[in-house]
Amino acid sequence: MLFFGKKKKKRQEELARQQEIAKQEQIKATPKPVAEPKPAPVEVVEKQEPKPLATPKPKTTPKPVSKAIVEEKKSPSGKYEVYPEAGMFKYRLKASNGEILAVSFGYSTRKGAKSGIETFKNAVEQNNFEISTDKSDFSHFDLFDARKARVIIVGEFYSTLKKAESAVESVRKFYQTEKVIDLDEIPTTEIREEVVPRQKIEAKDNGRFEIVKESEKVFFVKLAASNGQVLLVSQPYASKQTAVKGLETIKNAIEQQYFTTYKDKQGRFQYNLYSANMQLIVSGETYPTKQSCLSAIQSVLRFAAKAKTL
């Protein structure tokens, strides 16, 4: 009995040992739980306020330009010259390169010539130009005053109509200049107009004056020779009544022989007839030489003295 009891105890110990071994084996076989990774520490970023955009520096305020400088920049680079010629005072407009663009008629005083510049500017501003072609096929512009009552400038004579039109554009380009220069004289080479001395002429009795109506408000006075050749054409008149008065003025001027010869920059000549107060009333045709121009004046004197009015 004792043996059996020892055997049983021994068997129980063996069983307990095997159970312990099995338990250990089970523990070994069971995978160890993987430790969860510790979360990475969160970096706390300090919130930064956005930097304000740099305020642009205000632009430098430009310095005001004086009115004189502004006007100088706007003013064309041409000039007016006031000078004596043929016993009168005149003004002329020159381009920046010195080219003569327009020459006035005569004035009895220098002050009158300067006042004429303003009249000229007003007429150009109103575009009171008319271009005509004479019987020699030379073209030129006439510039009328603001009322279009009289011609204040007769332009140069050109061989083509296009050149005369170009001359008008040149005047428009420079006429606003404020530069006015007084001259005591001009070079001999620049003298264009000369007074024609009085002369004795044998009058003819077969000339005729005509008052010609061109349109409702345009009338002309013409002087024709016995063969019908036109020797003189007046400036336009607005009515027949003013044309009749103009005829008497023309007759008196011819009798007093207020003639001059004028040479343009093309080298052609024409005659001018002035009234007693030195107002231009007639400009003749153009001629290739001064002598032919003087001959035309003689023809006017011969046929006007005893001419009949038709």
Q: Please name each of the domains of the chain with its CATH number.
A: 74-190 (2.30.29.80), 192-310 (2.30.29.80)
114 by Cβ neighbours in 10 Å (0-12 / 13-18 / 19+) ranks as middle
Given this model, what pLDDT does residue 72 score?
Answer: 42
CB contact at 8 A, 233 and 132: no
User: Is 87 strand, coil or helix?
Assistant: coil
| Ranges under pLDDT 50 in the chain | 1-6, 45, 58-63, 65-73
Running DSSP on this structure, what letter comes out for residue 295? H
Given this model, what pLDDT does residue 241 score?
Answer: 93
Question: Which are the contacts of 246, defined by CB distance < 8 A and separation ≥ 6?
Answer: 221, 234, 235, 237, 281
Given this model, what pLDDT does residue 235 score?
Answer: 84
Given this model, what pLDDT does residue 1 score?
Answer: 43
Q: 3-class secondary structure for 50-86?
A: CCCCCCCCCCCCCCCCCHHHHHHHHCCCCEEEEEEEC
Given this model, what pLDDT does residue 53 score?
Answer: 53
Compute the distance between CA of residue 208 and CA of residue 297 in angstroms, rounded to an integer.
16
pTM score of the predicted model: 0.65
Strands 208-215 and 218-224: antiparallel
Bin 53: left if φ > 0, else alpha if -120 < ψ < 50, else beta: beta
